[in-house]
Amino acid sequence: MFDYRHYIPILRWKRGERIALRNLQGDIKAQMTPLVELIPGDFKTGNAAAVDNKLSKTAEDLFKNWGRAPLFVDLGLLYPAVRASNGLHPIEVLCREAHIRQLSLIPVTGLDRTESYLSAVASIIKEDHRGACIRLRRPDIQRPTFLTDLGRLLTQLELSPPHVHLLVDYQIINNSCPSFANLCSLLPNLSQWRTFTIASGAFTKDLSGFGKNRQHIHTRLDWLTWHGQIASSPPLPRPPSYSDYTIQYPIFEEIPSFPNISASIRYTAEEYWVIMRGEGLRNEDGPGFAQYPANAQLLCDRPEFCGAGFSYGDAYIEEMGRQSEKTGTPETWIRAGINHHLTFVVRQIANLSGVSTVDTP
């Protein structure tokens, strides 16, 4: 179990994100439980042998980059027709591979999942006895049949609230999202769920709205909303844990082949992100990858920069800003940005003070 001072970052299982996790300091890892989403491009329908190999490798990567600490895993982005060679749903095969390696995977499900997905999760629960994470979207909660549908899901999984990690995912945070107080009033058995989390994201879909070759700030509305509402008066009946999409857009979209990505750096500060916006790496006669160390040097001179000792990501930024021969790649810069973000948020939460809460059983 964990309370509102625990962090649940939502990460797509790409190499940059994996290495960002691997290089976290031990005390930072202890204060978070990532929710990992497998992405559809890694799993093609009609090739069960390749699916088997990918699931086995994913289990190995989870161990290599995170270890045996608890981890939420969500396969909801995969194509519904994807199956392993034995005909089982991929989430069931992945959790079996994880079980062999003594990993502590907790399956994520929700009201929008297929019957085969739900049956696979029910099977995992019986075998691993770790319960499940139920991930609810805003439309789930707002439909008239919500309570009935949630009760039916619990019955199908043979779970009661004390064995369920309840996560409400607002995805894109905006003024139309229910207040936390309103949300708490809509959720049944609020005090009984094993954990309670609200997730949201505020990073933009892309950087096209920011001028090229300039420095920008972008408000961390996800953090400011959570921080403001858990400290509100009257106190919430149960303050939720914080969950975000780090420095990524909350809605997953496949990346086109050979995109002309801008050489940009995303850096988390107290209430906003610093965005060092470059131009397309593939621009004809453009500066290309040389923009990265130049922007890193500019970032290191800003007051928001935390210093090389803050995290693996910060050490990378400072090292790259001190030279001009190495440039890095979009992946290494996302890795550095996410690693810094994860470290920064854990320390933000740890430094909370004056939060009024109501004790829950």
Residue 361: per-residue pLDDT: 31
Q: What is the pLDDT of residues 72-108, one digit of tens each?
A: 999 999 999 999 999 999 999 999 999 999 999 999 9
Report how far apart, in Å, the C-alpha atoms of 10 and of each of 56, 108, 239 are. Answer: 22, 12, 19
Lowest mean pLDDT among 156-170, 252-266, 334-348: 252-266
Residue 353: per-residue pLDDT: 66
Residue 345: per-residue pLDDT: 98
Residue 44: per-residue pLDDT: 78
The answer on pLDDT for 162 being more than 80 is yes
* Distance, CA of 277 to CA of 350 (rounded, Å): 31
The answer on pLDDT for 358 being more than 70 is no
Rounded-to-10 torsion of CA 141, 146, 152, 156: -20
Residue 138: per-residue pLDDT: 94
Q: What is the pLDDT of residues 170-188, one digit of tens each?
A: 999 998 899 999 999 999 9
The answer on pLDDT for 360 being more than 70 is no
DSSP string, 133-190: EEEEEHHHHHSTTHHHHHHHHHHHHT--GGGEEEEEEEEE--TTSPPHHHHHHHSTTT
Q: What is the pLDDT of residues 31-65, one digit of tens each?
A: 999 999 999 988 877 789 999 999 999 999 999 99
Reading the block at residue 168, the tokens are 């409400």
The answer on pLDDT for 112 being more than 70 is yes
Q: Tell me the percentage of the chain whose pLDDT exceeds 70.
A: 98
The answer on pLDDT for 204 being more than 70 is yes
* Distance, CA of 238 to CA of 142 (rounded, Å): 20
Rounded-to-10 torsion of CA 26, 28, 29, 30: 90
The answer on pLDDT for 276 being more than 80 is yes
Distance of CA 250 to the CA centre of its chain: 9
The answer on pLDDT for 355 being more than 80 is no
- Kindly report whether the global pTM for this prediction surpasses the value 0.85: yes
